[in-house]
Structure 1
Amino acid sequence: MDTNGNGALDGAVIAVAGAAGPAGRATLLRLAEAGATVVASDADPVRLAEAVDAARYAHGGATVTGDTVDLLDLAAAREWADKTEKEFGRVDGLIHLVGGWRGSASFAETDLADWNLLEKLLIRTVQHTSLAFQDVLQRSDRGRFLLISAAGASQPTAGNAAYAASKAAAEAWTLALADAFRKAGGEEGLTSAAAILVVKALVHDAMRAERPNAKFAGFTDVKDLADAIAGVWDQPAQEVNGQRLWLTPKP
C-alpha cells in the first residue's frame, strides 16, 4: 500500500461519484493517502461534507473537495467534469459509486416501480458521468473510468430482476466506453481505460457492529474495495480496459 504519495496516483486528479456512502468514504481516504487530489460528489450535501472532512483530517495536506451534483442531469454532470478539469488542469479518473438496491420475495412479486428507481440510480448516472468525462479522461496519460458492479448482473436471482438488469445494463454501457477508449488509442496505444470491479456485496464496520454474528460470506469490505480501486492505476491501460475485475468468486 502506497502511503508516501510516490505511486501511480501521486498528483492524479480523481473524481468520485456517490462519495458520501461507506464505500465512498473508504475510497476518499485511500486516494488521499496515495497522494491524489480527490474531487467528490454526491446528491446529499451534508453526508458529502462529512466524508470530505474525514478524508482531509485523516491525511493532512491532501486536497479533497466536494461538489453537490445531480448526476441525473447530463448538463450538471458535464459542468462538473469541465469545472474539475479547469480547476485542477486534468482529470485522471472517475469512480462510479452511486448505488441503490430494491428487491422482492419472488419474480412474480417484482414491483416495476423498483425498476424505475434503479434505472435512474444505476444506469442513468453511469450514462451521464461517462458521457461527461470521456473526453477529459482521454486527455489524461492515466485516465480510468471505474464502475462498481455486482456478481448478480451475471447470475440474476428471481427476486433481484430489476437490480440485476440495471447492473447488467450499466456494465454493457461501461464496456462500450472501453471500446471508445480502445479506438481513440489507435496505433499510439491506450492511455485511458474503462473497467468494472465486481463484488457480491459490500460490508463495512457499522454493518458488522449491527450484526455481530453475521458471517457476510463472500462480501467485500469497503476498505478492500478502495485498495482494489487504487490498484487499477498500477496496471497498464491495455490490461484493464474492458475487463471485469472480480473481487469475489465468479458465479
Structure 2
Amino acid sequence: MDGNGGALDGAVVAVAGAAGPAGRAALLRLAEAGATVAAADADPGRLAEAVDAARYAHGGATVTGDTVDLLDPAATREWAERVEKDFGHVDGLVHLVGGWRGSASFAQTDLADWDLLEKLLIRTAQNTSLAFHGGLGRSPRGRYVLVSAAGAGKPTAGNAAYAAAKAAAEAWTLALADDFRKAGGEAGPRAAAAILVVKALVHDAMRAERPKAKFAGFTDVHDLAEAIAGVWERPAREVNGHRLWLTEKP
C-alpha cells in the first residue's frame, strides 16, 4: 500500500516512543501508506534522526517530531491537542514506549525494576490513551495500538516485574477498548484499541551484534510496522479489544 486510496491515506497517526528501532520502522511504514505522522520521544537527537529518515525515504510525506515527556500528563495532553489542531483530526496513536529489566530468579527481583517499568510501560500508556481518547473517538477510523509481550500471559520467574507491567498495560488498553465499544452502541465501535503481541523484537543491529543467534520466535521491527499499518485495514469491531498475535501463543 503506497498511499493511493489505502486505509491510511490521509490519516493522521501519532507515534509515541518513535526514536527506537520499532519507532523508526513504524514511521517509515506509516509514511509509505500515505499517513501524516506525528512522532514523539524523550530523546530529541534520536527523534530527529528517525523523522529525517522517514521524510527522506518518502519524499513529500509529512512527518513531524516533538520532544515530549510522556510521563507528564499535561505535556502529553498538550501534544495530543496540538496534533489534532495542526492537522484537523487525529486517527491513531501507536504506543511504542518500551523497556526491559529482569533478574536471574524470582527471589532476586529488584523492585527498583518495577518502579522503572511501571513508568515506561504503564504510565506512558495511561497518559497517551487519556490524552488521545477524545480525538480518536471523533475520528471515523481511530485506532489505539499497544505493543505487548507474550510473557504478559505466561510470566517467567525472572521476568516478574516486566510481565506484570505488560499485563497491566494490556488491561488498561482493554478498558479503553470497552469504552470504544460502549460509545459505538448497536452500530459497533467507530474507534478501536488493539494489542499486538510479540515474543520479543529484533532488528538489524541486533543481528549484526549476534550473527550466530537465531532469535527464534522474535518479530522483526519491519514486520511489526506492517502489522501496525494492518490494524487500519480491518473494521474496528474486528480489532477492538483483541490481542493480535505476531508470535506463537504460549
Counterpart check, 1:63 vs 2:67: no
Any idea what SS the aligned residue of 2:229 has?
Answer: helix
Q: Give the Å deviation of 1:187.
A: 2.8
Q: Which residue of 2 aligns with 1:248?
A: 247
Residue pairs, 1:1-251, within 5 angstroms: 2-251=1-250
Q: Give the Å deviation of 1:4.
A: 4.1
Any idea what SS the aligned residue of 1:225 has?
Answer: helix
Any idea what SS the aligned residue of 1:198 has?
Answer: strand
The Cα offsets for residues 88-111 of structure 1, whole Å up to 9 and x where unpaired, read as 000000000000000000000000
Q: Give the Å deviation of 1:191.
A: 1.1
Using the alignment, how far apart are the partners of 1:107 and 1:229 within structure 2?
33
Q: Give the Å deviation of 1:190.
A: 1.4
Q: Give the Å deviation of 1:241.
A: 0.3
The Cα offsets for residues 147-195 of structure 1, whole Å up to 9 and x where unpaired, read as 0000000000000000000000000000000000001111333110001
Any idea what SS the aligned residue of 2:113 has?
Answer: helix
Any idea what SS the aligned residue of 2:24 has?
Answer: helix
Any idea what SS the aligned residue of 2:129 has?
Answer: helix
Using the alignment, how far apart are the partners of 1:63 and 1:6 within structure 2?
17
Q: 1:6 touches 1:34 (CA, 8 Å); kept in 2?
A: no
TM-score if structure 1 supplies the norm length? 0.99
Any idea what SS the aligned residue of 1:95 has?
Answer: strand
Any idea what SS the aligned residue of 1:145 has?
Answer: strand
Any idea what SS the aligned residue of 2:237 has?
Answer: helix
Any idea what SS the aligned residue of 2:197 has?
Answer: strand
The Cα offsets for residues 60-98 of structure 1, whole Å up to 9 and x where unpaired, read as 000000000101011111111100000000000000000
Letter in 2 for 1:57: Y
Q: 1:5 touches 1:33 (CA, 8 Å); kept in 2?
A: no
Using the alignment, how far apart are the partners of 1:109 and 1:83 within structure 2?
44
The Cα offsets for residues 123-161 of structure 1, whole Å up to 9 and x where unpaired, read as 000000000011100000000000000000000000000
Q: 2:3 touches 2:35 (CA, 8 Å); kept in 1?
A: no
Using the alignment, how far apart are the partners of 1:42 and 1:234 within structure 2?
26
The alignment-based identity, stated in percent, is 82
Letter in 2 for 1:225: L
Using the alignment, how far apart are the partners of 2:187 and 2:21 within structure 1?
39
RMSD (Å) for aligned C-alpha atoms: 0.6
Letter in 1 for 2:193: A
Using the alignment, how far apart are the partners of 2:127 and 2:4 within structure 1?
31
Q: Gapped runs of 5+ residues in structure 1?
A: none
Question: Given the superposition, is the C-alpha separation of residues 125 and 4 from structure 1 closer, same or farther in structure 2, using an over 3 Å criterion?
Answer: closer
Using the alignment, how far apart are the partners of 2:67 and 2:10 within structure 1?
23
Letter in 2 for 1:104: S
Q: 2:105 touches 2:157 (CA, 8 Å); kept in 1?
A: yes
Using the alignment, how far apart are the partners of 2:248 and 2:97 within structure 1?
23
